[in-house]
Amino acid sequence: MNDPRSVTAVPAVTLRGVTKRFPGVVANADVDLEIHAGEVHALLGENGAGKSTLSNIVTGLYRPDEGSLELHGEPVDLRSPRDALQRGVGMVHQHFRLVEPFTVAENIALGDQRDRRLVPDRAALERKVAALADQFGLSVDPRARIWQLSVGEQQRVEILKALYRDARILILDEPTAVLTPQEARALFETLRAMAADGRTIVFISHKLHEVLAVSDRITVLRGGRVVATVATASATPEGLASLMVGREVETGRRQERTNPLTNVVLKAYNLCAEGDRGLPALNGVSLEVRGGEIVGVAGVAGNGQRELAEALTGMRGLTAGQVSVSGVQLRAGDPRDAIARGLAHVPEDRLGTGVAPSLSIASNTVLKAYRDPEISAGPFLRRNRIMRRASELIARYSVSAPGPETRARDLSGGNLQKVVIGREFAGAPSALVVASPTRGLDVGAIENVHELLRAAAARGVAVLMISEDLDEILALADRVLVMYEGTIVGERDGEGADVDELGMLMAGGAPR
Amino acid sequence: MRIERRSSTPRWLQVAVPVGSVAVAFVVSAVVLLATGHNPLHAYRRLFEAAFTDPGALSSTLTAATPLCFTGLAAAVAFRVGLFNIGAEGQLYMGAIAAAGVALALAGQGVVLQIGAMIVAGAVAGAAWALIPGFLRAFANTNEIITSLMLNYVAALFLNYLIFDTLSYWRDTSSPGAEQFPQGKPLPDAASWPTFGLGTSLVIPFGLLVAVVLACAVSVLYGRTRFGFEAAVIGDSPRAARYAGMRTRRNILLVMGLSGLLAGIGGASQDGDFRHLLDPRGLAQPGYGYTGIVVAALARYNPFAVLLVAILIGGLSNAGYALQGADFPSGLVGVMQGIILFCALGGELLVRYRVRLGRSGAVEAAPAA
Amino acid sequence: MNNSLLVLIASSAIVYGTPLLYAALGELLAERSGVLNLGVEGMMLVGAAMGFFVVQRLAGPGPLALGAAIVVAALAGAAIASIHAFLVITLRASQIVSGLAITIFAGAAGLSSYLANDLNLAESPARHVFGPILPQSLQDLPVVGPLIFAQTALVYASWVLTAAVAFYLARTRPGLELRAVGEAPGAADAVGINVTAYRYAHTLVGGALAGVGGACFSLSITPQWLDGLTGGAGWIAIALVIFAFWPADLCLVGAYVFGAFSALPFILQARGVTVAPELFQALPYLMTVVVLVAVSTGAVKRHLGAPASLGQPYVREER
């Protein structure tokens, strides 16, 4: 680890008084920050604290409303990502900015200002990329097309993109969200090697233990402001957590399950289904969930989790296998059947799938229930009943919104999730499939959602939780299933599960 | 200049933008007129007179507006849920063919039966023609824009064929002259739709009243029924609709069928209200189907606004047609309609986004979400 | 032999398919940048009108007038396209409605008719027409004569253009950047490619080529002015681009197939085959529908088909 005291005099990045506003929210407020050259500096904060916005400012994607930015001591006004790239700032985004049909080499060289020839030399390009990959230990095939790569490999391409342009400042936004624990450790080693090489690494994350593992100094953001900058050596998880949230917090502690389990409610047998490209995504998944238990499905993104949720709830057809709820077999590919049998679904893409974004909360409250005789009389909708139901939901789940007429897209992530969950629960389901329930939510909202899920289980609902966040699964699940390449490769008890072992399974390693 | 998405759109803006668009369009068109050596004020005054104030002008305007009400409603019901039915033109033709055929077949029957049958026939034919691209979209995921458009050409050719190339049922074969100059067979008297006089010179065609009733029905359908709810969800987010278990395919068919039905009744109205025979050239020349899209867009897909806008655009069309001649630029109507639409499109930006000039400065707090 | 039905159909296919090819190549470029242009028909008509106007009024030898006419037609098409570009790129309007607005504005009942009227285009047939440019001896060769050597400069230019566009897209750096803009504008923006500039440029070029395609009608196929003389060719060109799975070389094949169907009624009529012309005239449109269905139900996966961002405005700061 670099000694934080022996830094070069000129900081790599200096932010003074930076403020950025969006409609309805101040994403960054009066941020002062200095990042030293050659260090690994972590930006820690919960979702919505302003970390991504800040990094987007440094990489030229956004322009600050107030304040100034200096790179290596020079004041700069970045008008576009190209400006930032030219000054040696590279970014590895959380949501990759890659062109899927192109090859790795094409993506890496895309837009490179140094080579403006009309007809590029493909072979030479591929050789250069291969050499670069070797130099940094990031193995990837330059000729492969992006859609053929795993998520971890795609991330390597993103990193190589920055290195190819000789980025001296590298910013990574939540890089480990898509990696197994082992892959994450390998990434940390790579980052430290780059820092030792004199590059400056900015590591953005909301995960305490990662930030403690990889960084030299940590800056904590909360509500768009800098709360503190500490040396990692002297930081503790509890201290950081309370800085992040501003109060004492019990993050992810397991609770004893007290309710007894009932019969098997949700049962899937040998599910096989195709993905969006026609390739098999589920290869014989079988599972059972009893009433009152929470079963977690862990795995790295892209191993069939989304397809599993869709297959169980009828949004995706099956090529083989069957799903049953309370003993009744569901019709494959028919969401209405699943809904009718008491299977609720909180999808991973809440805004794109879980609600009709331009419609009101009221409309979304009855998105599935509008056919009920309570809500509609014959072909006509009972407007006042709908309003009432929406108001009840808003009150019961403390949704922060001006009223039931508010458009769904105007709600914050946490409130939107409350609406979705509240709606799903209103149907008194016997089983619940929930995917990535707390993605992008702040700590308060995460606690809320976890409470709601525990309460559902306590009521006897069979809960299947698919999540890429291993911490979340370990906090909630009674049993953990690990998914890899479309099958369940292992099952462990939630209590006392070994993280490393789960990580191995998630990466396709042999189960013990 | 910076663009930020608005969280909500004030009511006044939703009305101001279309109105403003028309105003701006008139200004821009004036520039075009000036640049090509015409006097805009003179042209506008003559347009207004020919549309509204000349003797009989208002009635002519209503005549021009009636088909636009139907095709405007047809476009509105489809476009507002994301189904781009460009085929109202062809659906209108098919409706006209069916209505004329039924009217001829029922010669000798009473007025009520005749008119009822014509409306039904027009509706069925229009709906059926629209269901072709509807089926292709629902079951083969084929883009309805191109398919509905291609069928316009096919329908137009079929219409021509019936009158110009065969001695079909629709063709007038009563006199030797008719063989030389192909024309449609006149419909029986009972198939003439009634008119309602208002005051001394205003004549309201029955079709217009039908259109008003249909506009009310559409408004209720989309605002208060389960079908309308499903259509709104599907139009907003097909994924959410599927997630909620809605029968998306059935809905697509119903919306397209409804759209074609409306255009088809417009065709029946052409036969019954105005032409009293099947008239290919007369039906095709004004481009009612395409103009209906302009009407619907300007009306922001609201059924009652469609009626108002149809009268405005109908007035414009009527005036343009009436003034056609050496000293009045032909094609001006299309140019102005296009400009109105451009301005409406540009105005949409103001409705959906807030535009800020400059980088920083006093940014007022956006309304709390 | 050169009068055989097959040869006639084939060479007519080329003639009638050429305007489709120009318009399709232009549309292809625009769509590759992510901009759907439904106003092709309008741009073709305006190009046709302005090209015709130049030929009627420009004093000078035939080739000069024709050359200038093509340039003007291209500029006219680009000018109309600039309206569409401004609306959908800068003002983020709906690409579909804007394209339709262009068709209404510039189409047979709009600007093209307005211009034709004001400029008195209908009063006489074209003073100069594109004709075959190679010597008669080559034209008389069996089969290849009428098919290849008897074509106009417009046709030869279209072949060169097809090859150029194919090369541009597949092998050049700007072609690669263009495809990135269409497939993943966020990725392109992040590496500093100017998404807006690419979209504007290619939409304007698309309009220019549509204008040239329109000029094919007024200066070669029907060398006289009629309102709406393109007869829906612009729409067929749009369908053609979908049919050809978006690569340039297939556009050529498709254009000639559609061209053949357009030419068929006239050829058969000349042969004295009495079938109602409307039946044959309907064929290109019906074929378009059939082809579209076949393409849509087939396994047209994302990386073989439409650019992913087609139809969507790109806003950098949109959350």
**What single string gives the DSSP state of each residue in chain C?**
-TTSHHHHHHHHHHHHHHHHHHHHHHHHHHHHTT-----HHHHHHHHHHHHHHHHHH--S-HHHHHHHHHHHHHHHHHHHHHHHHIIIIIS---HHHHHHHHHHHHSTTTHHHHHHHHTTGGGS--SS---B-S-HHHHTSTTHIIIIIT-BHHHHHHHHHHHHHHHHHHHSHHHHHHHHHHH-HHHHHHTT--HHHHHHHHHHHHHHHHHHHHHHIIIIIS-S--TTTTTTHHHHHHHHHHHTTS-HHHHHHHHHHHHHHHHHHHHHHHTT--S-HHHHHHHHHHHHHHHHHHHHHS---GGGSS-TTTT----TT--
Better-predicted residue by pLDDT, C199 or A277:
C199
Q: What was the pLDDT predicted at C301? A: 40
Q: What was the pLDDT predicted at B284? A: 83
Better-predicted residue by pLDDT, C45 or A152:
C45
Contact B181, B194 (CB under 8 A): no
Q: What was the pLDDT predicted at B309? A: 92
Question: What is the rounded CA–CA span in Å between residue C284 and residue B73?
Answer: 30
- Whether residue A512 is predicted with pLDDT greater than 70 in this model: the reply is no
pLDDT digits (tens, 9 = 90+) for A47-72: 777 888 888 888 888 888 889 898 88
Mutation target to probe the B interface, by most B beta carbons within 10 A, among A341, A381, A384, A386 is A381
Of A433, A400, A429, nearest to A416 by C-alpha is A400
- Whether residue C303 is predicted with pLDDT greater than 50 in this model: the reply is no
pLDDT class of B326 with cuts at 50, 70, 90: low
Q: Measured between beta carbons, which residues in chain B are less than 8 angstroms from residue A358?
A: 236
> Domain boundaries in chain A?
1-88+168-249, 100-165, 263-342+429-440+457-512, 350-428
Task: Give the three-class secondary structure for B324.
Answer: coil
Contact A204, A211 (CB under 8 A): no
pLDDT class of C113 with cuts at 50, 70, 90: confident
- Whether residue C292 is predicted with pLDDT greater than 80 in this model: the reply is no
Q: What was the pLDDT predicted at A241? A: 78
For chain B, how long is the longest CA-to-CA vector?
Answer: 81
- Whether residue A185 is predicted with pLDDT greater than 60 in this model: the reply is yes
Question: What is the rounded CA–CA span in Å between residue A503 and residue C300?
Answer: 37
Q: What was the pLDDT predicted at B1? A: 56
How is residue A330 annotated by DSSP?
P
pLDDT digits (tens, 9 = 90+) for B199-238: 777 888 999 999 999 999 999 999 899 999 999 999 888 8
pLDDT class of C312 with cuts at 50, 70, 90: low
- Whether residue C318 is predicted with pLDDT greater than 50 in this model: the reply is no
Question: What is the rounded CA–CA span in Å between residue A439 and residue A94?
Answer: 12
Q: Taking CA atoms, what residue in B is nearest to C96? A: B84
pLDDT digits (tens, 9 = 90+) for C130-181: 888 887 777 777 777 778 888 888 999 999 999 999 999 988 899 999 999 9
> What is each CA distance from A356 to A160, A313, B128, B223, B238, in whole angstroms?
38, 18, 30, 16, 9
**What's the average model confidence in pLDDT over B154-159?**
91
Question: What is the rounded CA–CA span in Å between residue B71 and residue B267?
Answer: 9
Q: Give backbone dihedrals phi and psi of A112, rounded to 5 degrees, phi first.
A: -65, 120
pLDDT class of A186 with cuts at 50, 70, 90: confident
Q: A4 to chain C nearest CA, in Å?
A: 31
Asked which of A39-48, A253-262, C58-67 is least confident by mean pLDDT, the reply is: A253-262
Place of tokens 């990889």: A214
With respect to residue C81, please indicate whether it lies within any of the assigned structural domains: yes
How is residue B368 annotated by DSSP?
P
Neighbours of A270 (CB within 10 A): 13
Q: What was the pLDDT predicted at A140? A: 87
Question: What is the rounded CA–CA span in Å between residue C223 and residue C204?
Answer: 26
- Whether residue A365 is predicted with pLDDT greater than 60 in this model: the reply is yes
- Whether residue B369 is predicted with pLDDT greater than 50 in this model: the reply is no
Tell me whether residues A380 and B224 touch, CB distance under 8 A. Answer: yes
pLDDT class of C24 with cuts at 50, 70, 90: very high
Q: What was the pLDDT predicted at C25? A: 93
End-to-end CA distance of chain A: 34
C306 in contact with chain B, both atoms CB, cutoff 8 A: no
Q: Mean pLDDT highest for which of B120-134, B222-236, B283-297? A: B120-134
Q: A378 to chain B nearest CA, in Å?
A: 9
Q: Taking CA atoms, what residue in C is nearest to A410? A: C319
Contact B103, B272 (CB under 8 A): yes
pLDDT class of C307 with cuts at 50, 70, 90: low
Q: What was the pLDDT predicted at B108? A: 82
Better-predicted residue by pLDDT, A417 or B352:
A417
Task: Give the three-class secondary structure for A69.
Answer: strand
Beta bridge partners of A201: A40, A170
Of A354, A392, A389, nearest to A370 by C-alpha is A389
Q: Taking CA atoms, what residue in C is nearest to A158? A: C187
Q: What integer best gives the mean pLDDT of chain B? A: 84
Helices and strands in chain B, H and E counts: 15, 4
Contact A27, A53 (CB under 8 A): yes
- Whether residue A103 is predicted with pLDDT greater than 60 in this model: the reply is yes
Of A158, A169, A204, nearest to A54 by C-alpha is A204
- Whether residue A113 is predicted with pLDDT greater than 80 in this model: the reply is no
pLDDT class of B179 with cuts at 50, 70, 90: low
Contact C189, C2 (CB under 8 A): no
CATH 3.40.50.970 for domain A1-88+168-249: no
Tell me whether residues A119 and C316 touch, CB distance under 8 A. Answer: no
Question: What is the rounded CA–CA span in Å between residue B33 and residue C8?
Answer: 46
Q: What was the pLDDT predicted at A284? A: 92
Q: What was the pLDDT predicted at B365? A: 29
Q: Measured between beta carbons, which residues in chain C are less than 8 angstroms from residue B154?
A: 282, 285-286
C317 in contact with chain A, both atoms CB, cutoff 8 A: yes
Question: Which pTM was predicted?
Answer: 0.81
pLDDT digits (tens, 9 = 90+) for A420-453: 999 999 988 999 999 999 887 877 888 889 999 9
Better-predicted residue by pLDDT, C289 or B93:
B93
Asked if domains A1-88+168-249 and A263-342+429-440+457-512 share a fold, the reply is: yes
Q: What was the pLDDT predicted at C49? A: 92
In 3-state terms, chain A is what percent helix, strand and coil (to 5)?
Answer: 35, 25, 40
Q: What was the pLDDT predicted at A2? A: 47
Percent of chain B with pLDDT over 70: 89
pLDDT digits (tens, 9 = 90+) for B10-36: 777 777 877 888 888 888 888 888 887
C297 in contact with chain A, both atoms CB, cutoff 8 A: no
- Whether residue B92 is predicted with pLDDT greater than 50 in this model: the reply is yes
pLDDT class of B177 with cuts at 50, 70, 90: low
**What's the average model confidence in pLDDT over A401-418?**
87
- CATH number for A263-342+429-440+457-512: choose from 3.40.50.2300, 3.30.450.20, 3.40.50.300, 1.10.8.60: 3.40.50.300
pLDDT class of C299 with cuts at 50, 70, 90: very low
Restricting to C residues 136-175, those with a Cβ less than 8 Å away from any Cβ of A are 171-174
Q: What was the pLDDT predicted at B317? A: 80
pLDDT digits (tens, 9 = 90+) for B55-80: 778 888 899 899 999 999 999 999 98
Q: What was the pLDDT predicted at B359? A: 47
Tokens matching residue A358: 């331009």
User: Number of folded domains in chain C?
Assistant: 1
Q: What was the pLDDT predicted at B4? A: 65
Q: What was the pLDDT predicted at B364? A: 30
Question: What is the rounded CA–CA span in Å between residue A414 and residue A437?
Answer: 10
- Whether residue C258 is predicted with pLDDT greater than 70 in this model: the reply is yes
Contact B102, B95 (CB under 8 A): no
Tokens matching residue B51: 């549309």
- Whether residue C304 is predicted with pLDDT greater than 50 in this model: the reply is no
Q: Which domain holds residue C64?
A: 5-304
**What's the average model confidence in pLDDT over B241-254?**
92
Asked which of A233-247, A366-380, B87-101 is least confident by mean pLDDT, the reply is: A233-247
- Whether residue C118 is predicted with pLDDT greater than 90 in this model: the reply is no
**What's the average model confidence in pLDDT over A291-313?**
90
State which amino acid sits at residue A311.
A
pLDDT digits (tens, 9 = 90+) for A124-171: 889 999 998 888 878 888 999 988 887 778 888 998 988 888 889 999
Q: C80 to chain B nearest CA, in Å?
A: 12
The sign one gets for the Cα dihedral B47, B53, B55, B56 is positive
Tell me whether residues B294 and C104 touch, CB distance under 8 A. Answer: yes
In this complex, the residue of A97, A100, A113 whose CB is nearest that of residue C190 is: A97
Tell me whether residues C109 and B333 touch, CB distance under 8 A. Answer: yes
Mutation target to probe the A interface, by most A beta carbons within 10 A, among B229, B248, B351 is B229
